[in-house]
Structure 1
Amino acid sequence: MDAAEALASLGGVAARGEILALVTEGALRRAVTDGSVLRRARGRYALPAAPRIGERAELRELAEAGRRAAHELSGTAILLSAAARWGWPTKWVPTRPQVAVPRNRRVPSLAKRGIDVRMRDIPSGDREDGWVTTRVRTALDCAGLLPADEAIAVLDSALREGAVERDELLLGAARLPPRYRRKAEDRIRRASPLAANPFESVLRWIVSDIPGLTLDPQVHISDEEGLIGIVDLADRGLRLVLEADSFAWHGDRAALERDCIRYNRLIAQGWLVLRFSWDQVMHHPERVRALVIRTVQQGYLRVRRPLPDGYAT
């Protein structure tokens, strides 16, 4: 049994000690080096998230479009175009390559029609391969400049990859201009390497500031029969589960059967499960948030705990 197989037997996410009970430290180190196992946080490891169909090819195409646009303008690919270069899945993909050029540069009007041009100076130390922002600069730019949900999706992807560390990003954020610093630092602290994909990241952000709700990503839940599964988001105190349900996950009869059994075991174990589709999360966040708020209120009544401030009684 190799480290990836050991991790799969533990449900896909496990602590270092759990893995080393099954394989040697050398085997775990080799698996991290070759990418078959990801180090998501200190002492926590996970299997790489399976990309959605065509995702890798889509990211390669976006990165190549960014590279061509950067060379055309003698500029630097930034934001989501740079995130694509590093293989980071995002909430949205840019409709045009995003490129920064020096502030004193004149850009032809025709070029602006096909390229999202930002007038910004990028120091040579923040560029890689001569045309794209480094991983750290990309993550910092996204943290400070993108809408909150998009920023969290990028930061989760960056931390999940393991090539950048939270402390490294916070150190970089401390050097940002004041108007971006606080925003970037807050989003970096809220990001999680445990998020499986941007779908889950956006769902977590939508409900992140609901009073009385404390969600952890990728939570193991068991009953007397063993592991029920790893749920997307869970509040252990309220015994509330939020699932980001993709259509592909239920693509055949066997998958539907497994999901029904899993769902019923969660309910029998006292968990309340809310399931949200991609369209609901991405296009109707206010509906998602309102439903979760109502459910949290009922959850406090169910466990007979005083409601937190902000709820009508």
Structure 2
Amino acid sequence: MTFLPFSGSRAVAAGLVTWRMLRGPSWRRLLPDIYVHVDGHREEDHRMWCDAVALTLPPGAAISGLSAAFLWGADLLPRASPVFVTLPGRARRRTTPRVVVDQRSLSAREITRIAGLPVTTGVRTAFDLGRQLPRTDALVAVDALLHRRVARLPALSSYLDTHKGWPGTARLREVLVLAEPLSESPMETRLRLLLHDAGLPPLTAQHDVHGAHAQRGRVLLGRVDLAYPRWRIAIEYEGDHHRERVHFQRDVARLNALRAAGWLVLRFTADDVLRHPAQTVRLVTDAIDERRPSRR
């Protein structure tokens, strides 16, 4: 059974519950007049909070920002995040620990529905996050939405052109130059941006490496996160999922095949990218210097 948030006053008016029942142990108050059954209450379930907040939104409002990205399938939210909403200028609502309000009118074309909830469109969500977040986070968000194909680069560029002068559009313009729809994870984007900002050559994302097989001819040896194909350098981000037994075994076989084909494989973790960026850049730089023909 699914337990969704509901309006207490409407439920009482319909004779489904009483106010005394709502004050009992079977129900949890989420927001003023918004309740959920105790079995459906998950304090850190952002979808539950989106369902609750949506019940309080006036016409013309929508879930937006990082919450909209979450509903589009790009979970970039910090732990216990509030719900982000955009309200039309005529509406009045203060930001609270549970709800962050952006006071700006949306056109009907900028709002869609996901499972019944009013949400900013993929293009509008990418437009907002790409100009409102810090540079790295903005690129992570835009990459994630592009990868899920809820926004496309041409449409996003066109939208930006029709909204010149809005706050943060200069940042978004820079982000679009750096954006990579093939990027498969936030940390992969962060690693690519780290190397870009260090002045290293442009990388190829999600590069397929092929090799020769005596019986089968040209075969796929594996796909690498980032690559310098001309120097046969592969750069991989290692997330927690790589530690799973089956995935680990596949990785070992793939890496052995890449090395046998003459590829140098560099593997980095979140700790390398976030806490030891200079060392990470140095390792990649050394690999390029090792593989690049001498200029002398």
**TM-score normalized by structure 2?**
0.70
Instruction: Give the distance between the partners of 1:131 and 1:247, measured in 2 at CA.
Output: 34
- From the CA coordinates, give the structure whose radius of gyration is larger: 2
Aligned residues: percent identity? 26
Secondary structure of 2:236's aligned partner = strand
Alignment RMSD, CA only?
3.0
User: Paired residues, what number?
Assistant: 243
Larger fraction in helix: 1
Could you tell me how far apart the structure 2 residues matched to 1:212 and 1:150 are?
21
- 1:127 corresponds to which of 111, 128, 145: 111
Deviation by residue 1:144-187 (Cα, 9 ceiling, x = unmatched): 11122322232223222334321111000112243422321222
Tell me the secondary structure at the aligned position of residue 139 of structure 1.
helix
Q: Work out which of the residue numbers 234, 237, 243 in structure 1 matches 2:236.
A: 243
Aligned to 2:139, the other structure's residue is in SS state helix
- 8 Å contact 1:152–1:201 — kept in the other structure? yes
Tell me how far 1:118 sits from its aligned partner.
2.5
**8 Å contact from structure 2 (residues 272, 280) kept in 1:** no
In 1, Cα distance between equivalents of 2:47 and 2:176: 24
CA displacement at 1:64 relative to structure 2? 4.5
* Distance (Å, rounded) in 2 between the aligned partners of 1:104 and 1:306: 65
Q: Is the Cα–Cα contact under 8 Å of residues 238 and 300 in structure 1 kept in the other structure?
A: no
Q: Aligned in 2, Cα 1:91/1:238: closer, same or farther, shift over 3 Å?
A: farther
Shift of 1:63: 4.2
The residue type paired with residue 96 of structure 2 is: K
CA contact (8 A) 1:67 1:132 kept: no
Higher mean C-alpha deviation, range 243-252 or range 66-75? 66-75
* 1:1-313 correspondence to structure 2 within 5 Å: 61-74=45-58, 75-90=61-76, 92=78, 95-103=81-89, 105-108=91-94, 112-129=96-113, 131-178=118-165, 179-225=167-213, 226-252=219-245, 254-281=246-273, 283-284=274-275, 287-306=276-295
Equivalent residues of 1:127, 1:134 under 8 A apart: yes
State the Cα deviation string for residues 209-232 of structure 1 (Å, max 9, x = none).
332322111111123343221011
Shift of 1:189: 3.3
Q: Structure 2: any 5+ residue segments left out of the alignment?
A: 1-41, 214-218
Q: 8 Å contact 2:74–2:145 — kept in the other structure?
A: yes
* 8 A Cα contact 2:123 2:150, kept in partner: no
Structure 1 CA distance, aligned partners of 2:270 and 2:283? Answer: 20
